[in-house]
């Protein structure tokens, strides 16, 4: 397998902004309406071609602020576009992060509705739960692992709110990294007993293998994606508190799902996670 395309961390964390406060509010209105109404909209850069990564995060953080003010609880964060398979599929070469609300979670083995989603896709990911705070621009893989309480296998259900699932980096960041639902399952295990950088995974849809890979595809080691996430948070003036749930990014390309599909992600060591769509 080829090494993941190397991306510059400074490129991922240049937070210069061009939008004024009114434009951030207007774009957050658009994203919030599209997410709540499960409606596809044109990507934001069609109207705001000068939009930067920093502008995208300004919209994302305003969306988070609104939803927390409405009483929704944050479970943690996700890193996305952290594997070459994902980058190639989406045509984006820089990883990004998004927030995860507790109410995005669905139970393993449950049936996930699709009528409140636009065009869902599934991804298999290694998720982390932390037991110590992580903060700053230079967190290492070892520090992430020391701060990890356990890892758990997960399926993320992503759902871009942009027409045709087509976007660029500022737009997808504003859309909270296409976050929609997530399902954990399998076995929660301590990281120190695992070779976390070489866990195989098979993604099955309706009993057929549709994608397969290994965790090394995520930046060489999924903990490095968590370190990248902490760096981006630092640039945004945030930290990763103990007790956070963190998804490290899809190992393979994402697979489209429709009502009636059953998806199972089978991870080496970590067990499997299954979910049905209706």
Site for Mg ion, rule CB under 5 A: 80, 123, 156, 250
184 contributes a contact to ligand OOG by CB under 6 A: no
| Binds 257: which of Mg ion, ligand OOG, none (CB < 5-8 Å by kind) | none
158 contributes a contact to ligand OOG by CB under 6 A: yes
Site for ligand OOG in 17-76 (CB under 6 A): none
Binder among 30, 86, 181, 234 for ligand OOG (CB under 6 A):
86
218 contributes a contact to ligand OOG by CB under 6 A: no
| Gap between the Cα atoms of 230 and 228, Å rounded | 5
Binder among 54, 76, 213, 250 for ligand OOG (CB under 6 A):
250
C-beta neighbour count of 153 within 10 angstroms: 27
Site for ligand OOG in 3-22 (CB under 6 A): none
| Binds 177: which of Mg ion, ligand OOG, none (CB < 5-8 Å by kind) | ligand OOG
CB of 172 to Mg ion, least distance (A): 11
156 contributes a contact to ligand OOG by CB under 6 A: yes
**Burial of 76: CB neighbours in 10 Å, binned 0-12, 13-18, 19+:** buried
Q: Side-chain half-sphere of 201: how many Cα atoms within 13 Å?
A: 33
CB of 257 to Mg ion, least distance (A): 14
| Gap between the Cα atoms of 180 and 110, Å rounded | 15
120 versus 250: smaller Cβ distance to Mg ion: 250
Contact range with ligand OOG by CB under 6 A, out of 46-54, 79-87, 104-112, 136-144: 79-87
- Dihedral, CA of residue 126, residue 129, residue 132 and residue 137, to nearest 10: 40
Residue 275: its H or E element? strand 271-277
Residue 6 contacts by C-beta under 8 Å, 6 or more apart in sequence? Answer: none
Angle at 140 between CA 190 and CA 80, to 5 degrees: 80
| Gap between the Cα atoms of 214 and 267, Å rounded | 9
232 contributes a contact to ligand OOG by CB under 6 A: no
52 versus 252: smaller Cβ distance to Mg ion: 252
25 versus 256: smaller Cβ distance to ligand OOG: 256
| Helical H segments across the chain, by residue range | 9-12, 21-37, 53-69, 84-90, 141-146, 169-174, 222-235
* DSSP structure class, residue 261: -
172 contributes a contact to ligand OOG by CB under 6 A: yes
Structure tokens at 164: 């045709």
Contact range with ligand OOG by CB under 6 A, out of 16-24, 53-61, 78-86, 196-204: 78-86
216 contributes a contact to ligand OOG by CB under 6 A: no
| Binds 27: which of Mg ion, ligand OOG, none (CB < 5-8 Å by kind) | none
* DSSP structure class, residue 118: S
The contact set with ligand OOG (CB under 6 A) reads 78, 80-82, 86, 90, 123, 125, 156, 158, 160, 172, 177-178, 249-250, 254
């Amino acid at each position: 397998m080829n090494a993941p395309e190397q991306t510059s961390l400074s490129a991922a964390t240049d937070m210069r902004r061009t939008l004024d406060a009114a434009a951030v509010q207007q774009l957050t209105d658009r994203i919030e309406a599209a997410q709540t109404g499960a409606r596809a909209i044109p990507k934001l850069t069609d109207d705001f071609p000068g939009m930067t990564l920093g502008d995208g995060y300004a919209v994302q953080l305003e969306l988070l602020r609104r939803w927390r003010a409405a009483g929704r609880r944050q479970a943690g964060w996700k890193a996305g576009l952290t594997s070459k398979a994902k980058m190639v599929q989406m045509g984006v070469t820089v990883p990004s992060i998004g927030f995860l609300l507790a109410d995005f979670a669905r139970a393993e083995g449950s049936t996930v509705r699709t009528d409140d989603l636009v065009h869902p896709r599934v991804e298999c990911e290694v998720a982390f739960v932390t037991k110590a705070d992580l903060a700053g621009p230079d967190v290492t893989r070892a520090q992430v692992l020391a701060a990890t309480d356990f890892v758990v296998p997960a399926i993320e259900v992503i759902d871009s709110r942009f027409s045709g699932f087509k976007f660029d980096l500022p737009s997808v960041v504003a859309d909270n990294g296409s976050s929609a639902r997530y399902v954990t399952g399998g076995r929660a295990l301590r990281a120190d007993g695992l070779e976390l950088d070489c866990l195989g995974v098979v993604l099955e849809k309706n009993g057929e293998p549709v994608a397969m890979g290994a965790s090394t595809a995520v930046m060489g080691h999924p903990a490095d994606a968590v370190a990248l996430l902490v760096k981006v948070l630092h640039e945004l003036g945030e930290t990763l508190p103990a007790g956070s749930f963190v998804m490290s990014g899809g190992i393979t390309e994402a697979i489209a799902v429709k009502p009636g599909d059953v998806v199972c992600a089978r991870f080496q060591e970590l067990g499997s996670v299954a979910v049905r769509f209706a």
